[in-house]
Structure formats: structure tokens, C-alpha cells
Structure 1
Amino acid sequence: MMILLRATIMLSAIAVSLSLSFGAEIRSVRKRPVSDYSALRDLPLFSPDRAAPVAFVAPEPEPVVTQPEPEPEPPPAAAPDWQLVGIVRSEKVNSAIFTTSADMAAFTLRTGESRESWTLKEVGQFEVKLDGAGGRASLRFSDQVSGGQMFPPEPADTSGEGG
């Protein structure tokens, strides 16, 4: 009976070892289907939040904005009979001060304002541009000194020695 018991135990051990080795082949990493690992992809083991990766979605293409053609500059026109005497330029206000030969009082125009069918369009550092019915005119500061001198005269050399 002892022999029979030993034979039974040995057969059981062989059957168990065969079943273990059979299971080991199926559980081999190389032999398992990729679908067995989908949980690792969907919930990564070493990711702090264990969230599934976000699927890439291509952004919508930005619409192409074309700049409108700039308005052609009006043809040059004969400037009004005004004299540019001052310019005020700031972030909020752009204006010019003019006088006329007929009227000694000065008048001011801000950008966009009109007088005698002339509209002040641009205020530069030394020049302004006006648009009228005949086209665009530019006025610059006059080179002639009108009224009194702007600076006091320099003292004359009284020493008699020229230098």
C-alpha cells in the first residue's frame, strides 16, 4: 500500500507541475495578447493621477484674415491760405493751430475736424495733412519769422576786438 500511496503522490505531483508549467506559458509576457495590457494604458501604474492619456485632437485652423487694400492717397491739391503756427500731439489729442492772412485770430482743428471744406487728417511732428474736395494738401511750419523774435537778441560785442 505504501507503494501505491507513493505512486499516487508522485502522479499528483507530476500533474500539478504540468498544470503549473502550462499556466506559466500562458502567463508569459511575450505570449499574452496586447488587449491584456489595455488597463495599464488606460490607467498607467506610475502616473500620479492614474488618468488615461488625453487623445490628441488637432486644433481648428485659424482663419486667414486679409488686410484690406489701403486707400490710395488723394492727389496733391493746392493748400488753403492758412499758416501752420502750432501742433499738439499726445495719446489722446492731435490738433493743429492755424492762422489765415484775412483773420489774425488763430483757430484750432483736431484730427477729423473740418473748416472751409478742409479736414485735418494727419498731424506729424512738423507738418499736417488736410483733405479737401480737390485732394490732399500738406502744410509745414513757415520759415519766416512773424511777429516779434522768439529769442532775445544776442548782446553786441562792445570790446572792439573781433574774434
Structure 2
Amino acid sequence: MELFNKSGALVSSLLVLVGSLIACQAKEDTLPPAPVVEAVAQRLSAHGGAAAERRLREWADQGSIVAKRELGMLYQSKTPRRGEAMRLFEEAARAGDAEAAFQLAEMYHRAAAGTGRGLEKAWPLYAQAAEHRHPQAASRLASLARDGSEEAARWLAATGLK
């Protein structure tokens, strides 16, 4: 009887270990919370590193909106990757990320400098970000609106700057 108890305990322990390994493996496929993604992105921008970029890319491919935004922020300053940055920002903005909407609007606004042709694309993105309480977006809308206009006053009020 004692032999059965010992082997039963061994089998039980083995099953718990296998279950733990399966749980850990399954957990790798889940998306981390936003602060974890942002910490990886911050480490990437501070120290570089292909592993951190690869991890962000995996999370973005799995659907992490924050990872898409953070990759977009990484790529927007790299000329050959600006198109990819815009695509990532667009996907994240469509999913409701205010910072991604603001960053995409800024890219359109900078591209339109002097021509005003990108402003029609930037304006709704600034508005989307401002409506989600993004203060820089609200300030940008106020500065883009005509001085003294009702619309400028509305966006200034949203920033609390009046």
C-alpha cells in the first residue's frame, strides 16, 4: 500500500509539473498589459536591441494596440520605415489609441508644412485624440483654428489653457 501512495504522489507531482509547463507556454501567447509593452519599448529606445524590437513586433502581430503604437513611435524617425510607422499608427488609432492618433496627425501635419494639403487628414486625427483628453492634440487644434473662432475657444477650453 505504501508503494502505491509513493507512486501516486510521484504521478501527481509529475502531472502538476506538466500542467504548469503547459500554462506557462500558453501564457506566452497572451498579450501583456500596456505597462509591460511600454516598458519594453522604453528599454528598446534607451538601449536598442533586436530582441526587444522582435518582442514588440510579435505583440503587434498578435493584435496589441499599444505595441503597434510603440513600434510606430520607434519607426517614425527612421526614414525607410515611416510608411510602416504610419500604418501602425493608423491601426492603433482606428482601435481608439489617442497617442497613436496624435502621432499620425503630427506626421501628416509635418508632411503638409507649407502646403496645407495634409491638414485635412491631420485634423480629424487631432480631434479624435483631443476627444480622448489628449492635451497636445487639443492645443494643436486650437492653434490651427482661426484666432478668436468659436472652435479655437472650444479646443482651448478642452486643454484648460483658455
Same fold (TM over 0.5): no
Q: Which has the higher strand share?
A: 1
Structure 1 length normalisation: TM-score?
0.23
The structure whose RCO (Cα within 8 Å, separation 6+) is larger is: 1
Q: Which has the higher helix share?
A: 2
Query: Of the two, which has the highest radius of gyration?
Result: 1
